Amino acid sequence: MTRGRFITFEGGEGAGKSTQLKRLVERLRALGLEVVATREPGGSPGAEAIRELVLNGAADRWSPVTETLLMYAARRDHVERVIAPALARGAWVVCDRFADSTRAYQGAGGGTDPALIASLEAQVLGETRPDLTLIFDIPPETGLERAQARGGEMRFESKGLAFHQQLREGFLVIARAEPERCALIDATGSINDVEAAVWSAVDDRLAVS
Ligand code: TMP
């Protein structure tokens, strides 16, 4: 059985990732592929319980290092119980956020030592790495406006513009450092334009159609 493909969606707040993820999943399923759509933090019952802890409460409820460890506890459970078994049976996995969000939010934004994060990636994820990462780029002012219009402000949305600018830069650094894995998507266009850019990246890199 050939291993499935693993695609992750990354970017700051309000970049339209979730809408685009749904559209991509529909297109892949229309081709007859088995697709597992999932998200982080969360995606398995244990990881969803950790999500509740880490996303709710005051902005300073957890330090960046504690957040990093909580994200990796959730991620390990999600990888062990959902992602790795799906890839092993040949399914495609499309995940809303993954390890790059920890690099950007807890690392670039929060100041966690990149060496700690790199070591967690190596020890906790092992072979389970994305084949393709779509990084949705949008100016933080626009993204935060969209996220606030959506309602239900969460811990990371309340951290202020400077934090979100660092996040954006953190994601751009990842895209530049790993161009073979990452495709940068301009998320400022219309939903249909962004969908076309997503499809073209997926088809170019993973030859689906
Ligand atoms: P979202 O589901 O709206 O994208 O919210 C998830 C939030 O969790 C978002 O603010 C980013 C944050 N997050 C991290 O800070 N680190 C991580 O590793 C992940 C996966 C998410």
Cα 34 to averaged position of ligand 1 atoms, centre (Å): 25
Predicted confidence (pLDDT) per residue in 38-77, tens digit: 999 999 999 999 999 999 988 889 999 999 999 999 999 9
Domain ranges of the chain: 6-206
pLDDT tens sequence across 106-150: 999 999 999 999 999 999 999 999 999 999 999 999 998 888 888
32-35: long-range contacts at Cβ-Cβ below 8 A with a sequence spacing of 24 or more? 33/91, 33/92, 33/208, 34/4, 34/89, 34/90, 34/91, 34/92, 35/91, 35/92, 35/93, 35/94
At 203 the three-state DSSP class reads helix
Using the predicted structure, report yes or no on whether residue 152 has a pLDDT greater than 70.
no
To test the pocket of ligand 1, the residue of 71, 76, 97 to mutate (highest count of ligand atoms within 8 Å of its CB) is 97
pLDDT given at position 92: 98
Query: Is pTM, for the whole model, over 0.75?
Result: yes
| Any atom of ligand 1 within 6 Å of the Cβ of 137 | no
The pLDDT score that the predictor gives to residue 191 is 96
How many angstroms is it from 105 CA to the middle of ligand 1? 8
Scanning 89-209, the segments in alpha helix (DSSP H) are: 99-101, 114-120, 140-150, 161-177, 191-206
40 ligand 1 Cβ < 6 A? yes
The 3-state DSSP class for residue 35 equals: strand
Does the structure show a pLDDT above 80 at 208?
yes
Q: In the chain, what percentage of residues exceed pLDDT 70?
A: 99
- Given strand 132-137, what is the order of strands in its sheet? 35-39, 92-96, 6-11, 132-137, 182-186
List the end-to-end C-alpha distance of the chain, in Å, as a whole number: 20
> Cα angle at 30 between 185 and 127, to 5 degrees?
60
Residue 93: pLDDT over 80: yes
Q: Whose CA is nearest to atom 16 of ligand 1?
A: 102
Residue 159 half-sphere exposure toward CB, CA atoms < 13 A: 25
The model's confidence at residue 153, banded by pLDDT at 50, 70 and 90, is low
Kindly state the helix (H) or strand (E) to which residue 184 belongs, with its residue range.
strand 182-186
Tell me, in angstroms, the distance from the centre of ligand 1 to residue 209's CA.
31
Select the CATH number that applies to the domain covering 6-206 from these four: 3.40.309.10, 3.40.50.300, 3.40.50.720, 3.40.50.2300: 3.40.50.300
pLDDT attached to residue 140: 93
Res. 154 pLDDT band, cuts 50 70 90: confident
pLDDT at 206: 95
Instruction: Yes or no: say if 43 and 142 are a contact pair by the CB < 8 Å rule.
Output: no
Q: Which residue has the higher pLDDT, 144 or 176?
A: 176
Nearest to 131 by CA among 37, 205, 209, 63: 205
- pLDDT for 55 equals 94
Spell out the residues 6+ positions from residue 108 whose beta carbon is closer than 8 angstroms to its own: 166, 167, 169, 170, 171, 173
Averaged pLDDT of the chain: 95
Distance 40 CA to ligand 1 centre (A): 7
pLDDT of 37 > 90? The answer is yes
